[in-house]
Structure formats: C-alpha cells, structure tokens
Amino acid sequence: MAQLGRDAGARARAVAEEQSFDDFYLRTRADLLTVTFALTGDVAAARAGVREAYTAAWHHWRKIAPLEDPLDWVRPQAWRRAQRRHTARLGRRDKDLDPGNRRILAALADLEPAQRRAVLLRHHAAVPMSRSARELGLPLASAAARLQEGVASLTSTLEVDADALDELLAGLASETAGVVLPRPPLIRRAGSKRRRTHTVVASLTAVALVVVAGSVVSSPVAPGADRTPPPPPPDLARSMLLAADELTDLDGEGTTSRWDVRSTGDNTRGDGINYVCQQARFADPDGTRALVRRFVEAGVPDGRPAPRTVVQSVELSNTEPEARTAFATTVSWFAGCKVARLQLLRTHRVLHTADEAYLLTFRVAERPQTTYTVAVGRSGRLTTTVVVSAPGERSVPPRRTAQLLASAVADLCVSPVSGTCAPVGAVERIPPLEAGEEPGLIAVVDLPPVGRIERPWVGSSPAPANPNPAVTTCDDTNFGRSGADRGRSRTFVIPEADLPPEFGVATSYGVFANPRRAAAVLERSTARLDGCADRDLASTVRRVAQESTGRGRTAIDLRVWDVTTEISEDAQVQFRTALVRAGSRVAQLTFIPTEGAGMDADAFIALAERATERLAELG
C-alpha cells in the first residue's frame, strides 16, 4: 500500500509538471515566435529555434520552472538556435512580407546585434532593464546605452517617436500568425527523449570516471577523523562601515568639518537608488549582503548654499569572480553615466588601497550646481562605493577621496573574505574609462551642458567615418581618401530640446598606418582651415588653441579654431572645430551652436582634449 501511495504521488507530481509546462508553452509560444522572427527576419529559422528551445526547456523544466520568468531561459535558447539556422539578411527570404514590416525588419537589420536584442527585449518582450542586461551579458549601463542607441537609430530610420516602437514591433505578429507550432505533448516527447539520451551519456561518463578514479582515490575517512563542519558564511556588520569621525578632515590642509550619520540600512527599502548614476538596487543581484550608510555635514560654512553629503555602500558577493563583476558593473554606471547636464571631469586610478579601485569626478550643472567625487574599490569579495556630493564647483581633492576610500577598505579588512587592504591611497590621473559606447569616440558623459538646456545629449549609432560628419566648409578632411585603415563617426544632439536641425556635435576618427602619415593628414587639414579666410572672403577663421607633446607613437597634437561665415547681410554661421592626433590616429570634432545653446571656448577645448584621450581606447 505504501508503495502504491508513493507511485500515486509521483504520478500526480509528473502530471502537475506536465500541466505547468503546457500552460507556459501555450501562453508564451506565439510572442516568442514573433520576437525571434523580428531578430532574424526568417520565419522558418524562427520556428525551428522556438521548437528546439521549448524542447530543451522541458528537458530542464524542474530547474527553470521556479525562475521568476522561465521565458528568460527559453528566449536566449530560441534566439541562438534561430540565428544559427538563418543566413540571409533580415526580411530578404520571404517575398510576401508586408511592405511596412519589411521596412521595420530592414531597420532592425541595420542595428548592431546587441542594439537589436536590447530593443527587442525592451520594446517587444517588455523585459525590465536589469534582466535585459543579464541576458545581454552586459553591465546595466552598457545595456542601457545599447538600447538608447538602437532606439535612436530605429526612430530616425522609421521616422517615428520612441513611443510608437512597441506597437510597430507588435505588428510583426501578422507575419507569424499562420505558423503552426507542435502541440505540447510532441514538445514534451522530444524533450523526454533528449533527457533519456543525456542520462545515458552521463551514466557512461560517470562509470568511466569511477573506474579511472578507483586507481588513485585514497582510503575513506577513518572513524573518529576530524569532521569539523565548514565555517559559516561571512557577514557584514554595521561596524565595518565608515564612521562620522573618519570624514572630519575630508578637505585636508588642516580644515576640519563635522558630520552626522543620517541613516544605515541594508538597501532593501524604497527604490534602492542611493547616488547619482546608479542603475540598479545592487551591482551584484545575487550577492550575500549589502549595507548603505548616509552622512550629512553638520555645520555648513558661511557662503556655501547647502551641506555636503557622503554615501557609502558595501556589497558582499558569494565568490571573488562575482565580486569582480560587481565592481565592473558599479564602475560602468559612472563611466557611462547619461544623467542630463552631467559631465565627467577627471578619472584617477587609486593605487595600493584595494585589489582594484577608481576615482571619478563629475559635475551636474543644475541649480544649484553639484560636484560629485566617486570612489569605487574592491577588496576580495567586498565592493565598496563612496560618493561625496558638494554644492558648487569645488570638489574634494582626489587624494583626500582616495584616502577616504582607503579608510573604508581598511574598515572592511576584519572580514575573512577581504583582499588587499592598505592604509594609504595614492592616485594617478588616467584617461577616462570606456563608457560602454563606441571606443575611440567621445561619449555622452564627456559632453558639457549647453546654455540652460535641461534635456540629455543623445548619440547616434556609430557609423563609418566616410562621409565625415565633422567636416566643415573650410576643410575637406576625408579619412578614407587620405588612406586611413579604418574610421568611425558619431553625432550628438539633444532631441528633446526642440533645437534647430543644424545644432549638435559631430566627431570622427581615422587610424593610419603610421604616425608620419597621420601627421601629414593633420597638417594638410590644418593648412586648409588656416587658409580658409583667404579662399572665402565671407569667412573669418581664428585659431584659439594649439598643443603638441611627444613624438612618433607618443605624439599628441591638438588644434582648435573658431569659424564665422557670413551667409547674408543679416545672417551668419558660427562653429568650432578641432583636429587632434594621438600617434597614428587623427580625430575631428565640430560643434555648431544655436541661440541659447552654446559652448564657450574653454569647454570646447576641454572636449577636444577628451577626444584625444578617447583615441587611446583604440590601443
């Protein structure tokens, strides 16, 4: 009787598993087929990929059924399998496609693969950004950048607003509506066959391992041998966070300030966003523990509009590789930040303090203006972030912020899973970290605010440098024609600000065979710009900056011009352009202002210097 009861229970569980899978399959298969078709533009490949993905899902159903959304496991399987099967450009196989849908597929085909997947995850599958980033295998900031680039390109190509994308992509369902997918029992049968095959292979492998291991395995543990249980997992204690008295000499130079602890918690309440640029509640969503402490300056000196604040966060990861990923994710939030009117000013590497650490300084030109100094460090399995915000233009000196990070890491060193912990934090200025955008070109985070425009800059999808969007009426810089091995370009606008179409920043670069060739291209374009006024009497050209350092592969050149061209008695066009060189790489940067949205000479020169630094990303 007991055996009959166990058999009945097992059968009931099996029926429940089958029912839950069947419900999931019938509920999700149509949408998955459509979004897989949108990815490939190939109905046959999409159908085969979806069928195989659900077959694999039944094979692993006990493992994936408890997931928050099992479709997050199935969808990448379907996409990968469908992409293996199709070879033609999106939308080219089926000649009976609706013309509107063909146009949508063509626009999707023009996106880079990561951009296309990001758009489909967000605007078709409605997957939240945190899960999209995980599926794309990118830090959250990088995934958001791919989504923004993809949306910008699609909306421009299709001439629609971003709000219309969901409906347009959903319309692709008309192309897959007549596709017949197997009934649930057929999918389960194929999955069960796959499971039996895998079981046989695994059993044979296990037998082989036992036979081999039998010749080398030592004798079993003798009675009475030490059976000490493993130590409990490490924890985070509030005493391991910074204390208020560790902030008193934040300014250095004998200046002291008083600080109060405003709050301490595990970051599970509210939205979990504690500082500027943060993209998710946790950098390591699978981490063991997290703590956040907020400080506020107790006494505000005369003349300062508001008190400064300090926020420290600490995350404990399960493994050191996961901590390295959490550190990289945190750094990417800041390196690729896209907050409106925020600009990255400086980047430093912090030496000796931890296993790895960076310091970044930002300014947000709101009213009141705020300067942020951010330090991120990892020691073993612990990642800590310290963000100091100060009203106005005065930032905490980098060495003092590095020392504060050193204190924060030292406080964590009592943990058995900490790594490098040094009491002194030295800093070195370095080029900006990669922003998760196009290497070698300036990024959104590099762009200064213009006028009182409160909307964010948006960059176009990277494109070849021919034609060169940064070329002006005074020069004919063409990297391809000049012999560049490769080149890329982007333009940046503020689409939500309702500015004239000519407004914006354009940039491009070319990589040449050697520094001598790059220098020759730079000199030729320089001569064209310097001689523009002689060729065009309506133009006034003024070189406003020139810097040169190093030689050969270490050479750095920067040249900046202001150009004004009279186009009628009452109208003129003004722009700023720069040519920069780093070794064998040359870049051009051009800014066309408009009334109320300008950039002063110092800001543009600083942007040109940043363009030189970004060229270092090309190796």
Section 283-305 average pLDDT: 83
| C-alpha radius of gyration, the chain, whole number | 29
- 230 is a domain residue: no
Per-residue tokens: 51? 């069928």
Dmax over CA atoms of the chain, in Å, equals 105
Domains: count for the chain? 3
Q: What letter would DSSP give residue 245?
A: G
Section 580-608 average pLDDT: 93
Same domain, 277 and 383: yes
* Mean pLDDT value across the chain: 84
Instruction: Look at residue 138 in the predicted model and tell me its pLDDT.
Output: 74
Please tell me the least confidently modeled range out of 204-213, 344-353, 515-524, 547-556: 204-213
* Rounded Cα distance, 142 and 438, in Å: 11
- 132 is a domain residue: yes
β-pair type (539-549, 556-566):
antiparallel
Q: Judge whether 487 and 479 are in contact, CB under 8 Å.
A: yes
Same domain, 469 and 389: no
- Using alpha carbons only, what angle is made at residue 188 by residues 185 and 190, rounded to the nearest 5 degrees? 110
Instruction: Look at residue 59 in the predicted model and tell me its pLDDT.
Output: 82
Q: Which secondary structure element, helix H or strand E, spans residue 40, and what is its range?
A: helix 2-40
pLDDT confidence band for 214 (50 / 70 / 90):
very low
On the question of pLDDT at 202 being above 60, the answer is no
Q: Which of 149, 176, 203 is the last residue of a domain?
A: 176
By 3-state DSSP, what share of the chain in percent is helix, strand and coil, each rounded to 5? Answer: 40, 20, 40
Instruction: Look at residue 3 in the predicted model and tell me its pLDDT.
Output: 45
pLDDT confidence band for 198 (50 / 70 / 90):
very low
Same domain, 277 and 420: yes
- 205 is a domain residue: no
User: Which CATH number does the domain housing residue 612 bear?
Assistant: 3.40.1000.70
Please tell me the least confidently modeled range out of 168-172, 189-193, 270-274, 587-591: 189-193
Q: Which secondary structure element, helix H or strand E, spans residue 391, and what is its range?
A: strand 382-391
Q: What letter would DSSP give residue 234?
A: P
Instruction: Look at residue 80 in the predicted model and tell me its pLDDT.
Output: 81
| Number of Cβ atoms within 10 Å of the Cβ of 546 | 11
Which structural domain range is residue 547 located in?
A: 444-618
Same domain, 394 and 456: no
Q: Which of 402, 429, 456 is the last residue of a domain?
A: 429
Taking alpha carbons only, the member of 359, 372, 335, 373 closest to residue 427 is 359
On the question of pLDDT at 84 being above 70, the answer is no
- 227 is a domain residue: no
- 531 is a domain residue: yes
In terms of C-beta density within 10 A (0-12 exposed, 13-18 middle, 19 or more buried), how is residue 484 classed? buried
CA distances from 235 to 13, 243, 384, 568 (A): 38, 19, 15, 72
pLDDT tens by residue, 395-450: 788 888 998 999 899 888 888 888 888 766 689 999 999 998 999 999 999 999 99
pLDDT confidence band for 305 (50 / 70 / 90):
low
Instruction: Look at residue 217 in the predicted model and tell me its pLDDT.
Output: 37
pLDDT confidence band for 205 (50 / 70 / 90):
very low
Same domain, 505 and 563: yes
Same domain, 67 and 137: yes
* Rounded Cα distance, 568 and 320, in Å: 65
**313 — phi, psi (to 5°)?**
-125, 150
Please enumerate in sequence order all residues whose Cβ is within 8 A of that of 506, keeping only pairs 6 or more positions apart, or say none: 469, 470, 489, 490, 491, 492, 589, 590
- 612 is a domain residue: yes
Same domain, 128 and 50: yes
Section 569-578 average pLDDT: 84
On the question of pLDDT at 590 being above 60, the answer is yes
- 352 is a domain residue: yes
Same domain, 417 and 450: no
Same domain, 395 and 524: no
* Rounded Cα distance, 482 and 477, in Å: 8
Same domain, 35 and 150: yes
Instruction: Look at residue 463 in the predicted model and tell me its pLDDT.
Output: 93
Q: Judge whether 614 and 556 are in contact, CB under 8 Å.
A: no
Same domain, 425 and 450: no
On the question of pLDDT at 95 being above 60, the answer is no
| Number of Cβ atoms within 10 Å of the Cβ of 405 | 27
* Rounded Cα distance, 108 and 35, in Å: 12
- 80 is a domain residue: yes
pLDDT tens by residue, 24-68: 999 999 999 999 999 988 888 889 889 988 988 888 888 888 888
DSSP 173-188: HHHHTTPPPPPHHHHH
Instruction: Look at residue 219 in the predicted model and tell me its pLDDT.
Output: 35
Instruction: Look at residue 89 in the predicted model and tell me its pLDDT.
Output: 40
Same domain, 370 and 284: yes
Q: Which of 176, 191, 218 is the last residue of a domain?
A: 176
β-pair type (463-464, 259-265):
unpaired
DSSP SS3 for 485: coil
pTM of the shown model: 0.62
Please tell me the least confidently modeled range out of 81-85, 230-234, 245-249: 230-234
Torsion of CA 137, 446, 474, 582, to 10 degrees: -70
